[in-house]
Structure 1
Amino acid sequence: MATKQPVLGLDIGGTKLAVAMVTPDGRTHGFLSEPTEKQLGPDAIIAHLFDMGRRSIAASGLGEPGAVGISCGGPLDVAAGILTGPLHLPGWIDVPIVAMATEAFGVPAVVENDATSAVLGEYRFGAARGADIALYLTLSTGVGGGSIIDGRLHRGAAGNGGEFGHVLVRPGGRLCQCGRYGCLEAYASGTNIAARAIELLTETDRPSSLREVPVVRGEHVSAAAAAGDLLATELWNDTMTLLGQAITDLVNVFEPNVVVLGGGVTRSGSLLLDPVREMVRTRAMPPAAAHAVVTLAGLGDAVCVVGAGALALALMETVHV
């Protein structure tokens, strides 16, 4: 049964915390985004997150939420409601986030991998509406993934399936925080795009406008590439090649209707989307290539919050997703 009551969506990212009240039409109210400040540790950050949630509830003017949805990178134990050891949050071991949220807000709560939450949000309210098979990749602090298969969330046997950021794109390459070498995340996350640029600037004397940037971030690299900086352009093109290869492989495996890309790195727009689309168009096997639409997240920066809200709405509706 559909609910008319709003829910609270909470997103725990490696760079920022985001919260909002989400209504059953997928709209956000009282949206807040603030730095994560990872150095403070889980207790202080969760206290801050819940305080943001209370402020969002008050700002929305919608009354109390009927449930709380929480989005966070994995690994996690969805059934137990525990963050077992998120890679983007060092030191967060076996954090009972669902029990903590239930106690804090007095309503049922649910947790899910951030990219899995995001694909549900896009499926219900965004760019993946109507798709039988949808893939989602978030390109942010890390690279996460989620998928809808035959209209249902794919979680995997242990609940952490869809780790598209940890497909191998360069064997023996850069060390990934998962412990392997050559994962997509080690090249295409905003964090690692910046790290690779800094390495090039340190290891070579090549001229680049990035040398004038006090703290290089991923968006500086994409902006410099767009402006014609040669070092940044080479790095960006290499990144897009690896990302395009990974997405092409995923298209061949899943044969999706749509591949949705979200996260801070996608703010580069056509600079990212055009080469990835072209690689899928020319390299994916037919007929998959003709059916897969590669597009940006329809929910923008709120995608994980709306996804968390979609989980909470499904919890209230007793819908199995």
Structure 2
Amino acid sequence: MNELVGGIEAGGTKFVCAIGTGPDDVRAIERFPTTSPEETLQRTIQFFKDQSTELGPVAAIGVGSFGPVDPHLNSSTFGYVTSTPKPGWKDTDVVGPLCNALGVPVAFDTDVNAAALGEWRWGAAKKLDCFIYLTIGTGIGGGGMINGHLMHGLIHPEMGHVRIPHDLSRDPYPGHCPFHGDCLEGLAAGPAIGERWGQPAEEFPDDHPAWELEAEYLALALVNFLCTVSPQRIIIGGGVMRPHLFEPVRKKVQELLAGYVDSTSITDEIDTFIVPPGLGSQAGVLGAIALGQRLCNS
């Protein structure tokens, strides 16, 4: 695959645009804040127009977007961000303006499914046909593969909005999610941590009590995903998922499962079962490039 492809990691906080063919060949990359749809999409379009002068045109573009989104090709709202809590972005057409302005085919999926595809192609999910990719940041999202296919269905997975046990006597915080209050995202995403403790999570030291509660909430969710999807690996990225969190999450998962899932991946090899992304912070935009490459191969 030598054709240049564009990738767009369309996040609720920032957009990352890149051109290349893979992790070892990123020719151009730019990051900028997610503002209004009009301003953000125009800046995205301008990036590809400017780079085409120097690098040549791209053969396709892949977009991994915050959601919820409509990923179904036969839908009248394919390529839209739909019922998002992101102010100003509800029912926004992302794919249409890109296709019209740039004249190339555009692949579209969730940001977590795109990152999952990148990890399967080049990172921590190589040679696996069933795994989950989670991102813990401003929001919480999940995607991945089952039997070698990206997860889709009625729409797409919304793992950040599962309901988990919430002991109000221990944690009286009501939750941040505007739809569900104390779902997983409402309790464990970055804004929830900041509101609960009165300062941003990135300012906490590793021994702050916030992390014990965070590890417990994440482990509760992972056990649910493990028991329903039975993944061969769980990959967790995002700005909230600091390196020191992995160990308490792994231990809590083992404790909650209580020996029920009889697999050495859980009992003896959990350090290689719950892991960070192999592509690091570039999983999303590289996964978007991988989405675009699928269009070139179809």
Q: Do both share a fold (TM > 0.5)?
A: yes
1:315 aligns with 2:298: no
Cα displacement string for residues 77-136 of structure 1 (whole angstroms, at most 9, x for unaligned residues): 122433243525222233222121112221101211111111111111111111121101
What is the aligned partner in structure 2 of residue 85 from structure 1?
82
1:64 aligns with 2:22: no
RMSD: 2.1
1:256: how far off?
A: 1.1
Measure the CA separation in 1 of the matches of 2:193 and 2:85. Answer: 16
Correspondence 1:249-268 to 2 at 5 A? 249-266=224-241, 268=242
1:286 aligns with 2:241: no
Name structure 1 gaps, 5 residues minimum. 199-215
Cα displacement string for residues 252-293 of structure 1 (whole angstroms, at most 9, x for unaligned residues): 222211100111112x21x11111111223333322524760
What is the aligned partner in structure 1 of residue 38 from structure 2?
43
Letter of the aligned partner of 1:53 in structure 2?
A: F
Measure the CA separation in 2 of the matches of 1:56 and 1:138. Answer: 29
Instruction: Quote the sequence identity (%).
Output: 29
Give the structure-1-normalised TM-score: 0.81
Measure the CA separation in 2 of the matches of 1:48 and 1:151. Answer: 34
Give the structure-2-normalised TM-score: 0.87
Greater fraction of residues in helix: 1
What is the aligned partner in structure 1 of residue 202 from structure 2?
219
1:305 aligns with 2:298: no
Residues 315 and 99 (structure 1 numbering): CA distance in 2 closer, same or farther, change over 3 Å? same
Correspondence 1:1-321 to 2 at 5 A? 3-24=1-22, 27-36=25-34, 38=35, 41-57=36-52, 62-78=55-71, 79=73, 80-85=77-82, 87-157=84-154, 159-160=155-156, 162-171=157-166, 174-198=174-198, 216-221=199-204, 224=205, 226=206, 228=207, 233-266=208-241, 268-269=242-243, 271-284=244-257, 285-288=260-263, 289-290=266-267, 293-318=273-298
Measure the CA separation in 1 of the matches of 2:116 and 2:67. Answer: 15
How many residues are treated as equivalent by the alignment?
A: 282
Cα displacement string for residues 30-50 of structure 1 (whole angstroms, at most 9, x for unaligned residues): 1221222x3xx2111211222
Choose 27-36 or 304-313, whichever is displaced more: 27-36
Contact 2:16 2:30 in 1 (8 A): yes
Choose 128-137 or 46-55, whichever is displaced more: 46-55
Measure the CA separation in 2 of the matches of 1:26 and 1:174. Answer: 45
